[in-house]
């Protein structure tokens, strides 16, 4: 996250100018490149697409779902076979392709360690959420198959890639509330997350959990059962001060910044942007256990978006520098 204990931690995994990135995300190349800007098909057969408006972030193709009846998932969804993969050679090539200095940049290992999102990709939200409500046993068995694969890949990646941080994300919430109840989350997802995180914890490396939206109700299980120690992007729709107070230094809250685009866009006042960054830092940074994460999503070639994000990054750097020495 950050290079200076006295400064505000900044969460990111991309190279900024000439500065070495603090972390880089790395998934084994045997999974394919479907999450990249070109899209593609994931190991389960779900098609992903990207476009300029999403900044070329690849997402499931909502016009085509591979599964319409959860009771027939065994006929459609097959466990991917990675038995012929030369993990040692692949890991060496994947790491070399990053072009990083591992003494300056930490590898954040990531891959298919999610279950809720892939189910929505397979079925769409209407059918996927209906399956969870109406056929939880069938969903659980599908998740078990997916978890078996996740366990196998986790062991391989930890051994051959030797990441410094473990990252997994499974978006299961909207801005207003979660897609599923805490009971459904605890019964269907937590035991399968734990099978994977238990393996990671044996390596004594921090586990970074990504879940957008209002998902604070899930944090008890994620921290105390699954052992996560970092949560991103920690959006402000959650009561982040209450979360910090509850978990203390057991959980790094990374986020706290949801930029509100003014009605004058694309004309945006620079001081408006910079003051919003300072307000976020002053609100969430006291007491530590906080990392800044946020920006303006949109087309990567949009001059207004690029300008605002430049102001945000610069203000975090200048205002956050030596913050804890003041």
Percent of the chain with pLDDT over 90: 76
Percent of the chain with pLDDT over 70: 96
Alpha helices in 124-187 (DSSP H): 125-134, 136-161, 182-184
Contact 316, 278 (CB under 8 A): no
Contact 108, 164 (CB under 8 A): yes
Residue-wise burial string across 272-294, b where 16 or more C-beta atoms lie within 10 A, e elsewhere: ebbebbeebbeebbeeebbbbbb
Average pLDDT over residues 29-38: 88
Contact 270, 247 (CB under 8 A): no
Neighbours of 295 (CB within 10 A): 18
| 133 token code pair | 């409500």
**Does 250 have pLDDT greater than 80?**
yes
Q: How far apart are CA 108 and CA 162, in angstroms?
A: 9
**Does 1 have pLDDT greater than 70?**
no
**Does 94 have pLDDT greater than 60?**
yes
> Quick one: CA dihedral 255, 260, 261, 262, positive or negative?
negative
In this predicted model, what pLDDT tens digit does every residue of 284-305 receive, in sequence order? 999 999 999 999 887 878 898 8
Residue scoring higher pLDDT (29 or 4): 29
Q: Which helix (H) or strand (E) holds 59?
A: strand 59-60
**Does 2 have pLDDT greater than 80?**
no
Q: What is the pLDDT of residue 320?
A: 94
**Does 44 have pLDDT greater than 90?**
yes
Alpha-carbon distance values, 195 to 122, 158, 163, 226, 321 (Å): 23, 14, 18, 8, 39
**Does 103 have pLDDT greater than 90?**
no
> Quick one: CA dihedral 223, 226, 232, 238, positive or negative?
negative
pTM to 2 decimal places: 0.92
Q: What is the pLDDT of residue 51?
A: 84
Q: What is the pLDDT of residue 90?
A: 97
Average pLDDT over residues 51-69: 88
In this predicted model, what pLDDT tens digit does every residue of 121-176 receive, in sequence order? 999 999 999 999 999 999 999 999 999 999 999 999 999 999 999 999 999 999 99
Nearest to 240 by CA among 197, 293, 296: 293
Mean pLDDT for the chain overall: 92
- DSSP designation for 75: H
Length of the chain: 326
Q: What is the pLDDT of residue 77?
A: 96
Average pLDDT over residues 75-92: 95
Q: How far apart are CA 111 and CA 171, in angstroms?
A: 14
Residue scoring higher pLDDT (245 or 51): 245
Distance between first and last Cα of the chain:
21
In this predicted model, what pLDDT tens digit does every residue of 181-231 receive, in sequence order? 999 999 999 999 999 999 999 999 999 999 999 999 999 999 999 999 999
Q: Going by C-beta distance under 8 Å and a sequence separation of 6 or more, which residues neighbour residue 125?
A: 179
Neighbours of 41 (CB within 10 A): 13
Nearest to 169 by CA among 54, 57, 310: 57
**Does 3 have pLDDT greater than 50?**
no
Q: What is the pLDDT of residue 22?
A: 82
Nearest to 262 by CA among 253, 275, 271, 272: 272
Q: Is 251 strand, coil or helix?
A: coil
Q: Which of 52-56, 68-72, 258-262, 265-269 has the highest mean pLDDT?
A: 68-72
Q: What is the pLDDT of residue 58?
A: 87
Q: What is the pLDDT of residue 301?
A: 83
Q: What is the pLDDT of residue 14?
A: 62
């Amino acid at each position: 996250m950050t290079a200076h204990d006295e400064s505000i931690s900044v969460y990111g995994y991309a190279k900024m100018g000439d500065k070495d990135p603090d972390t880089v995300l790395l998934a084994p190349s045997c999974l394919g490149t479907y999450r990249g800007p070109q899209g593609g098909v994931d190991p389960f057969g779900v098609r992903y697409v990207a476009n300029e408006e999403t900044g070329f972030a690849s997402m499931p193709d909502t016009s085509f779902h591979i599964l319409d009846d959860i009771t027939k998932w065994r006929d459609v969804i097959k466990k991917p076979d990675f038995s012929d993969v030369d993990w040692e050679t692949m890991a060496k090539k994947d790491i070399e392709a990053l072009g990083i200095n591992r003494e300056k940049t930490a590898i954040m290992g990531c891959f298919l360690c999610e279950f809720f999102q892939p189910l929505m990709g397979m079925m769409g939200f209407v059918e996927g959420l209906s399956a969870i409500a109406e056929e939880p046993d069938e969903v659980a068995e599908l998740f078990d198959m997916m978890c078996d694969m996740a366990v196998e890949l986790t062991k391989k990646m930890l051994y051959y890639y030797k990441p410094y941080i473990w990252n997994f994300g499974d978006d299961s919430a909207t801005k207003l509330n979660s897609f599923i109840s805490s009971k459904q989350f605890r019964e269907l997802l937590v035991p399968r997350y734990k099978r994977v995180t238990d393996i990671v914890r044996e390596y004594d490396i921090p586990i970074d959990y990504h879940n957008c939206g209002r998902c604070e109700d899930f944090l008890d299980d994620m921290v105390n059962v699954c052992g996560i120690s970092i949560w991103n992007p920690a959006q402000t729709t959650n009561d982040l001060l209450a979360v910090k107070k509850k978990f203390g230094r057991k959980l790094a809250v990374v986020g706290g910044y949801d930029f509100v685009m003014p009605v004058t866009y694309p004309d945006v006042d620079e001081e408006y942007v910079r003051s919003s960054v300072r307000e976020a830092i002053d609100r969430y940074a006291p007491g530590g256990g906080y990392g800044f994460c946020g920006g303006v999503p949109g087309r990567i070639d949009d001059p207004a978006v690029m300008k605002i994000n430049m102001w945000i990054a610069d203000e975090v750097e200048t205002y956050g520098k030596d913050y804890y020495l003041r």
